[in-house]
Structure 1
Amino acid sequence: MDGPKSWTGDTDTLCSTTTEMTLLPPPNHSSSAPTSNEFRSLTVYNAGIGNLVLSLPSSPNILFYVRNSQWPGNPSVTLSLGSKEGRVLGILKLGVFSENTVGLGDPKRDQIDYERLRRVSNWTHGTYEFEFGGMGDRRTFTWQRTRQSIFGDQPDMELRENVESGGSGQVLAVYKGCQGLFSRTRGTFSLRKGVDRQAGVEKKLEDWSNWELMVLLTGCGIIEGSRRRARARRSGGGGA
């Protein structure tokens, strides 16, 4: 099958985040992504050096382009619609001596409210939290690492809404990474449908909602941070 091609679409809605500590059920260490009809999936492919594209399974079209950069002054992660030159949907900055920040929108043309993607522990990169305010109130979500190979450069993760934020603790999103050295496929995001609600009205399931964009952006940011630490380990550095 030919590689993904640029997709031009206009279904995009946007929002933002922050962070607080939580109680979570234990992670699910299943080796497979959710197959329930309650989830929909995006396959993640390598796109040149360090970048990624996200497409529907078995589709030639690129839905989202993820540009990763360590160049000073550039966002660490930029999520664009359809192609590298597509409209910027959100950015994430990985802090070296400061906190991680994330926001939806294009900083060159939009007023962005930056929020935190907070690492819960100072000793491990296994758990990150963010808040989302596009559901009528601010709710806290946690990405939790479920597995990472000692030689791998990216984690498997699952996302839950924190119980004290009003959530049930159910899994809302999963990332399953592919660790193959020469594999073009990087992994798969699976997102639960219908989580983003405004004033109690469920959004259309075929739309990519603000919440889904934030899930993808924060997930890609955590993956990029893991890949950077893996490169540092190979160069003699450290990082859990």
Structure 2
Amino acid sequence: MRTIGFHNTDKTRPATTPWVTHYQSGATIFGRGTYLPIDYGQARNDNTLVVGSSGTGKTYSFVEPNILQANANYVVADAKGDILANTGMSLRAQGYHIQVLNLVDLKHSMTYNPLYYMHDEMDVVAFAHQVIGADITGNANHRGFDDPFWTNAPASLLEALIMFTEEFLPVGMQTMGTALRLGSGTKSAFRCPAALEQRCPEQGVRENLEQHCWYPGNRLGTVHGRGR
């Protein structure tokens, strides 16, 4: 075996993949008979930059062979999905747990539920203001509103929707999707219970909802009536 850089002679293990017979699996493949042994104790991080134009084989000649070794944990940016299709079954057969973030087809993607990590009111308040304050338009003036109403009012509404979702709905429905769907039916900030109670068939939930309402300048609170 021809090596590059540090020669790894300690803590290697025989390759378990059947077609790997002539080298230790604790190495990065660079070509036929050329490998970079992985020795974290001496070499630390050995980063590799692969340069080539489109279609020159960067993926199938370097990325995929090294993934198929199954000798490490991997985080792969796979915009086309080809790497997952070509290596996923092999990795699963060797015991890997694969998680996929697919922003194109969300039905085939892992998801993240921020409500699961909110344990008190302050968590909800902080999250709501982060969401409302996020500039997803790229407009530099998006954050330049002089009147804080345009940030505080929608943030308060989002807080109320999240708190309602967490307090009154089953665990399986406690998601941001549920909160947004509830909000899409809220036509007036002063009539939010009337819009929400239509989605709550149980009498107990409707009665509790009458005591909770959002209005500008206040978070979800216990009041009598439907606003000021």
More helix by share: 2
More strand by share: 1
Give me the TM-score of the superposition, normalised by structure 2.
0.20
Considering Cα pairs closer than 8 Å and 6+ residues apart, tell me whether 1 or 2 has the greater RCO.
1
Give me the TM-score of the superposition, normalised by structure 1.
0.19
Larger radius of gyration: 2
